[in-house]
Amino acid sequence: MKTLPDIGSIEGAKVLVRVDFNVPIKNGLVTDDLRIRLALPTIEYLHSRGAKVVLISHIESIDGFEPSIAPVADCLNKLGTAVGFVKRFGDAYAEIEKMNNGQCLLLENLRLQKGEKENDKKFAKELASLADIYVNEAFSVSHREHASIVGVPQFLEHYPGLQFAKEISGLSQVFHPEHPFLVILGGAKFDTKLPLIEKLSDSADTVFVGGALANDLFKQKGYEVGTSSISVNGSGIVSELVENPRISLPCDVVNEQGLVKKADSLAVSDKIVDAGPETLVELKNKIDKAKFILWNGPLGIFEHGYKQPTLELARMIATATTRGAHSIVGGGDTLAAIEELNIFDKFSFVSTGGGAMLEFLAKGTLPGIEALNKA
């Protein structure tokens, strides 16, 4: 795959950059700008070489409503990247023609265009017609076969962004880990993470499964899980997984009332919301011995305020990294935890991907990577 430094002279060239600016917005303000900041080196690289930079991204719908991406333009300007905003897609052509070398434009939310999610060829051609070169700096959505990810590269010279290239090289280290190799997977969506759990249970020394993921395995073992969250297809989990000696589960949990209980002694009225203190002690023992650590997903219902065990886990892995362990972390709530602690730079590699990270580690590639690999 060609990389951005291979791009050659781009002064005056129109460069379409697919970024992932799907960031949380409250009262018209971006509340977490991490993904925006990580894309800045690619934007600056193109800007400094005199390219006309056209940024495109999506923002997820909220209660069925597609929000404007305008607050992201404000955020970019506050971060020191001067950017114009084009609200109507139909105005993009005229606005781009007015651009001077080194200027930057952000187009309105891609999800407002029907052809994006459908990977409509006509829409992909429309996007491609805006520029001379395409750059994918949206690793975190490159597991989606959308027009801006896999359609546009068919029609333009294409390259991965600087962070995108780092994602591939950083995550690929998981395929050749030093041992002891510890994997910690939390959060929910067991069906999504099952392929990775199965794959890594063959290569890792220990795969600790926590968060809501653990509830499915507790149920498979015959434990009472009460009203705890489980996967819709949880009954289809193979029994061999829970019998695998490399799979480790929380030994104690916290219920909704704040009580600590052994994982195998819950009542039918209990709801598991977080990991217990003994589980953290066991995790620390495993982390202290590990030379390679992969972590994705929280230990509790992070978005509802059950944070402390996850924050403590982040601290433990950061400390292990300081003493020489190699650590790779990723996932939305995982990133939120390390940002809250301001320890982003305490890990060997931090991935912007959630689902994309999981799929890449399970399959070794993504639709967005395959699109860039094609001539």
- Mean pLDDT (whole number) for 354-372: 96
Find all residues with CB under 8 Å of 190, minimum gap 6, and list them: 212, 213, 216, 230, 231, 233, 234, 237
Instruction: Write down the pLDDT at residue 291.
Output: 98
What percent of the chain is predicted at pLDDT more than 70?
98
Grouping H, G, I as helix, E, B as strand and the rest as coil, residue 290 is coil
For the stretch 224-268, pLDDT in tens is: 999 998 876 544 556 778 888 999 999 999 999 999 999 999 999
Q: Which domains does the chain have, with CATH numbers?
A: 4-163 (3.40.50.1260), 170-351 (3.40.50.1260)
**Cα–Cα nearest to 47, from 3, 13, 72, 22:** 13
Q: Compute the C-alpha angle 133/137/140, nearest 5°.
A: 145
Beta-carbon contacts of 31 under 8 Å, excluding residues fewer than 6 positions away, are 23, 24, 25
- In this structure, are residues 46 and 82 in contact, taking their beta carbons and an 8 Å threshold? no
User: Is 333 marked within a binding site?
Assistant: yes
Q: Is the pLDDT of residue 355 over 50?
A: yes
Annotated ligand binding at 22? The verdict is yes
Flag whether pLDDT at 310 surpasses 50. yes
Residues 320-333 have pLDDT tens digits of: 999 999 999 998 89
What is the average per-residue pLDDT within 280-288? 98
The confidence band for 54, taking pLDDT boundaries of 50, 70 and 90, is very high
- 331 assigned ligand-binding residue: yes
Residue 21 marked ligand-binding: yes
With contact defined as beta carbons under 8 Å apart, do 60 and 22 qualify? Answer: yes
| For range 173-185, the mean pLDDT | 97
**What's the gap between Cα 107 and its chain centre?**
22
Cα–Cα distance measured from residue 31 to residue 172, given in angstroms and rounded to the nearest whole number: 31
- 87-125 pLDDT per residue, tens: 999 999 999 999 999 999 999 999 999 999 999 999 999
Q: Is residue 89 marked as binding?
A: no
Any binding-site annotation on 334?
A: yes
Question: What are the structure tokens assigned to 358, written together?
Answer: 């999981």
pLDDT in tens, 11-27: 999 999 999 999 999 99
Residue showing tokens 């546009």: 152
